[in-house]
Structure 1
Amino acid sequence: MPESPWVPQRQAADYLGMSERTLMRYRQAGVLQPGEHYRRKFMNSRSALLYNLPATDAAITAQFARDHRTLEQAVG
């Protein structure tokens, strides 16, 4: 993992094993929050996005985590 937690979008997508478009979908769905998971490189709406890699990875992992209390038990 790089020294700074903030990495460019392409590098974040490669590390997380997904496309840049998928990261965009997570942003649009509210899974990734501005300031916490991603930010602009410069104070410009057209500036490149940087992702906080540990926070982004944790948010996406939590999105797919299952609570053992909500899983159906197999009936056999």
Structure 2
Amino acid sequence: VICAAIERVLALPLRRRRALGAAAKAAFRAERRLLLTGAARARAMVRDLLATQGGGRRGGDGGADQGQAASGPPPRRRRRQRR
């Protein structure tokens, strides 16, 4: 099936193939842009949710200020390695 599709594309004139390639590239970029903006929005929503609950990567007490138990010790900071 894939080989037949490739043969059909290769049978097209060069200009038509270039136009199809440009259209496919534009469609791919549009899809990628939608995916990246959606992922960025999801990360922002999670970050906001964690901030409202008192948690997050920068410490906090795991939401203990809202009646929840702290989830273990605070995260350790990574030390810079000497060379």
Same fold (TM over 0.5): no
Relative contact order, higher structure (CA 8 A, sep 6+): 1
> Higher Cα Rg: structure 1 or 2?
2
Compute the TM-score of the two structures, normalised by the length of structure 1. 0.28
